[in-house]
Every structure is written in structure tokens, then in C-alpha cells.
Amino acid sequence: MIDKKENYDIAVVGATGAVGRRILATLDERNFPVGRLSALASVRSVGQMLPFRGKMIEVKELRENSFVGMDIALFSAGSSISKQYAPIAVKSGCVAIDNSSAWRMEKDIPLIVPEVNPSALGEKCEIIANPNCSTIQMVVALKPIHDRYRVRKVFVSTYQSVSGSGQKAIEELKHQSRNILNGKSVQKDIYPHQIAFNCLPHIDVFMENGYTKEEMKMVNETHKILGDSTIEVSPTAVRVPVFNSHSEAVSVETELPMNVDEVKDVFSSSPGISLVDNPENNEYPLAVDACGKGDVFVGRVRGGLKRDNIINFWVVSDNLLKGAAYNAVQIAELVLKRLGN
């Protein structure tokens, strides 16, 4: 565990990527007490300049000695990099907060959503895992329902933006859309099928059980975060031609009966949730409205047609912020809170 101090020296691994850049912006926007900032990336990004608090920070090559003297390392450079360098960061005295899937299901590694399971952080802060983007927004909404009514089953269909696949996927959607509108052929590099004007019920590889790896992440991570492996989670993950923000249609079955107005009050009073639920005026969560915001937006709240222990709702969040960078910085803030900051 790092020592309490006025400012903390921060390393951002994968600083030039979409999530890395948003980590820098979030550290600034949330007035995180940064002393020194080290922006780290692969050798091909060395020398790039990134803005931070009115100054330009030069990107340095990620090396084994990059974490000497650092307090917190925020990783967003993929699983292989995290597997290799997070333990090195810890040996150098850092707390390592990882955005990849590398450590999420390791038994002794906490998987944290600060609004949901802050107590899982424990006393020994070494490697801390950031959950999958789709899992994060869902469990933020499930947590208050589970606490009050005991969730038993969850059926969820995701509508995930292309930014979840990286900058190249964003460019592919742009180019395909432009070519189709101009009557030209499309090129497929990132996805197995055309993504423009299309929906793909396929995110990550298919597993032997017929679910995709992305869908099984939602199952397993939900069990770990909520601390209840008896909850039945049935996901279908779909990639949609939206640039940013993920949306989800969620149906929940609980042990106890629910009242829709009461559930809305529960959502409204829960941390990290913004209730947008006025369908009479066409007000409900939208991907375009969630962009650039750290909250999870919930709306279209309605009960089951025949049973009082079913609730249905629509949940939207910026996958690069709450689904990645914002949640990671919140974890760092939680670490500082443990130190008494």
C-alpha cells in the first residue's frame, strides 16, 4: 500500500489510446491530486505530446523501470501488457489499476465498481481490476435492486458502440458509411461483416456453450461484483453502428415483489445513476446524450405485464468513460480514501 501524501505520482500505460487519453482528461476534470505524471506507451508512440492541465506531456516508452517512484499505475494497453507489467509496477511500490480482462477473474484480485462494491477493495491494494464496460453499467443499475429485492434472473441485450473495438473500428464505420452512401463497395477489416447500417450479434469469440466471450464476461463478472453466483444472467451482446456509448435492454426477476414507482425512487437515490424516464415527452437515455458523462443513465422503467417481481429498463453509459477511464480513476480515488485523503 502506498503512503498518504499531498500529491501522488501517476503512470498511465497506454496513454495515447482512446481510453488512455480519457484517463488523462478525467484525472484533470476530477482534480485528482497528481504530482508527477508519466505518459507511457509503445516505442512507436514515443515523442508524442499529450495535453494535461495546461501543459504538454511527452510520451515515453514503457519499460520495466518505468514505475520506479510512481504511486499509482493506470493500465489501458491490453491484457498481454497488463499481465507482464502490472506485477512489475506492484514490485516497484505502485498500486496497479487495470482496464483489461487480464486479472478480472483472478481469485485474489478485487474487481471494483466504486458505487457497487467498494468494500471488495480490501486492505492490501496491489493489482485492482476494472470490469468490462458492459458489465459496469449493468451492475450499477442492478445493485440497488439486488439490495432491496434480491435479484434472481437477469436477461440483457447489449447494443455496443464501435469505440469498444478501438479507433480503427471507429474509422471503419466512418469509411463504410461514407462508401455506402456514395454507392461504393465497403472494406471489412475489424469486423467479420459490414458494420455500417447493420447489427452484429457477435462480440469477441464464440465459446463452446454458444455464448461469446463478451457475454460470458458479463455473467462471470456480475457474479463476482455482486458476490452472488446464484444469479442467472442471460446476455446477448450486439455490436451496433454507433460511434460511442453502450446501451442495454435489461429485464430483471427478483425474489420480492416490486412497485415501479418505488423502483424509480431507488434508482434516483442511488449513486452514479441518473434517471431519465419521461416517455410522455420522449425523454429516455440516449447514447448521444451519455457521451462525455460519467453517470449511468436509466429509463424506460416498467414492470412485468403479469408478475410483480419483474422490472424492465433501458441503461446507457459512455463506454470509454464509466465503462473504462472514469471507473478507473474512481478506483484510484477509492484507494486514496483508504489512505485518509
The catalytic residue positions are: 133, 246
Q: How far apart are CA 8 and CA 333, in angstroms?
A: 11
In a 10 Å sphere around its CB, with 0-12 CB exposed, 13-18 middle and 19+ buried, how is residue 303 labelled? Answer: middle
Q: Which of 67, 228, 64 is nearest to 143 (CA)?
A: 228
Q: How far apart are CA 295 and CA 58, in angstroms?
A: 31
Structural contact between residues 290 and 318, judged by C-beta atoms closer than 8 angstroms: yes
Strand, coil or helix: 49: strand
Q: Which of 117, 203, 115, 96 is nearest to 160 (CA)?
A: 203
Q: How far apart are CA 293 and CA 251, in angstroms?
A: 24
Q: Which of 93, 58, 209, 75 is nearest to 130 (CA)?
A: 75
